[in-house]
Structure formats: structure tokens, C-alpha cells
Structure 1
Amino acid sequence: MDSSSALLVGDLTGVAVFAASGGSAAVGKRLDLFGVVFVGFVAALGGGILRDLVINQVPPLAFADWRYPLTAVLASLAVFWLHPHLDRLRRTVLGLDAAGLGLFTVTSTLKAFDAGVPAVGACLLGMLTGIGGGLVRDLLLNEIPVVLRREIYAVASLLGAIVVAVLVGLGWGSVLTFTGAALLVFVVRITALYRHWSAPRPRLGGGASAESG
């Protein structure tokens, strides 16, 4: 598999995973079939649309390549029909979200490099694309976006993007190493959830100290 094919597979896998995450969250809110598909669709493709507009890939792949919207719709439908078999929807959403975060961070950072974006900008764009799907999903479902809570989320994405940039700079880029970068984001995110790692919070009245993870 050449690099462009691997990038496409990774991107579509990220779309499917984020669509499933959005669909699962929508099922948890008891939305109807259209609502589940809509939330899954927007969660899966929102970050990628932002990325494509920034790197001047117009129209964005979400509209130019039929495989992207089809993947998002099918993944959302699968969650709608299979959700009775998904044990503990919240845990499913968090796991899928972490996987999508890792995949989108890596593929979007690589696409930014391919478009000639410098390393710092590529890392920021990779992070923004990675967190975009979860941000849109939470806003649609009237939840405080995960990225704005004290949990480690955007930091995990940025770490993965930096690892990708280092790999590219050292000439060590391969499907295996980039897969490792995506896995790193996933592991950091899941570990932060289970060990309750968090970013510092502001000091509030009475001399209470900021919490940190």
C-alpha cells in the first residue's frame, strides 16, 4: 500500500469512527434515526471540512469524494441499529472518540505537510481537525465540549501531531510509525480518562488551589 492509499484508508477510518462516536452519543440522547445520522455525519466530517478549507482543497473531500459522506452515513446507521448490543454507550463513545482523535490528528497533520504548511501550522491544524468532530458533536447535543473540560484531550492530539512532525523531519515516516503516533494519542487520551489526569483549573475563592493532573 502506497502512502496516498494509506492516508485515504486512515482518513476514512477516522470518518467511520467519529461517525460512530457521534451516532452513539445521539442514541444516548434518544434522537430519532435522522438525528442520529445527522450528528454522526457532522461529527465525522466537520473537522475534515475545516482542514480542507485551510489548506485550500476546494471543494472539501466531504463534498468532492462520495466515499466520505457514504462512510459517515453507513457508520451512523450501523450504530443506530446495533446500539442495543453496545454495552454502556458512554464508554463506547469515549473509546470511539479517542480512536477518531488519534486517526484524524495523524492524517490531517500529514495532509497539512503535503499542502506545504510549515511544521508549527501543520501541528496546529492536525490538532484542530482532531478535536473538531468531538466539538461539533457535543455542541449539537447541548453538552459542554470535551475540549473545554479539564480532561486531557486537545493536549493528547497536539502531542500526536508533534510526534508526526518529528517523524517527518527525521525521515522516519511510514505506515507503521504513523500508526504508532495515532495509537499514542489514543493511549494518552484513554489513560487520562481512567487516571483522571487533567489540565490545571483556575484558583477560585477561599484560597483553593488549582487542580492539575
Structure 2
Amino acid sequence: MVDFLAEVLGDDAEIVLHDMSDINNSVVAIRNSHVSGREIGAPATNLVLKILKDHKYGDTNYITNYQGVSGSGKNLRSSTYFIKDDQRRIVGMLCINIDFEKLAQFRNYLDNLIGFAPDSNAEKTVERFSASVSELALESIETVITNFGISPERMSQDEKIEIIKELNNSGVFLLKGSIGEVASQLKVSEATIYRYLNKVKKE
């Protein structure tokens, strides 16, 4: 089983078989020992000793994905399967200790590659890559209306003017044809939009 798991999981996974009949030399088989630096004849770990002392794993067959630390200070991800006799006493343990430093380095690389630290002076607006001017206008209008939280049919004149103000500040009216799109979305005439827009510009 030790050799099988080592072949399946690769060089960064240490596979260890412990015999609890001699905790001072409990390691009876090991593969990829470079992960922890141990060899056959090494003693049980502090966790193994605690498990044997506490007797609290009688109803549990394994523990998984806990942190281990090698003698050199390397962080490992560890899992242990308990080998029990007919009385449910732990007589052996099969342990897997994975060196995930390479994966952690790769994750950090990906975080740096695809993540970002917001610049306090950076533009907060989300950049949208639209296929056409009409699509850009429509998306911008719908975003402002949605954020307002009231359907156009229920908006008062003052609320619609506030919408126009936000759209004007966003630059939507720089787009050709945007007046018609806004009028359609707000359920008013284009003349009304021009009137609201003139009012906003005078403020």
C-alpha cells in the first residue's frame, strides 16, 4: 500500500506506515522521505502520541488535511488513516504528508497574475466592453435605473431628473442616439429628456 500510494501521489507526497507496538521506532515503511527528512526507525510524532494518549479516535477511522511541519520547518498537509484491531485499538497508522510549497508558490504566482491591489487614486467605474454604441448606452442606462431601485413607471419627475443627472455625469449623452434610448427606458418623450437634461446642466 505504501508503494502504491507513493506511485499514485508522486514525489511530493510522503507515505509513512507506523507500527504502534514500538512508538520509539514506529516508522516501519516510508516513501519519499525527503519530504519530512525521516527514515525507517524514526519515532512516532507528537500527534501520534497525543492520539494514543487521548483515546478519542476510537470511533473515527481517519483524520484529514491538518497541518504538519517537517524538521526543517516545511509546512505539510497531512492525513492519517488508523489501522485498528478487533477491539478498535489503534495498532498502526498510514500517513500521507504532502509538501505543497510548489503549489503555494504557484498559487501566489496566479494571485499576482490575476489579482489586483486597488489603487486609492484609481477609477472606481467598472469598464465595460460593449459590442456597439447602442449596447453601451443601453447597459449604462439600465445600470443607473437598476441602482436607483425604482421602476420608471413609479418614478416621480424629480426622480427621473436625478436619473438624467447620473446619466449625464456618466457621459451617456455623449453617445449618438442615447436620448432615444433614455426616453424609451424612462417611458417619456425625447422632448422631455431634452428638457430634463437642460435643467440638469443649468444646476
Which band: TM-score by shorter chain?
Answer: under 0.3
Whose helix proportion is higher, 1 or 2? 1
In terms of Rg, which structure is larger? Answer: 2
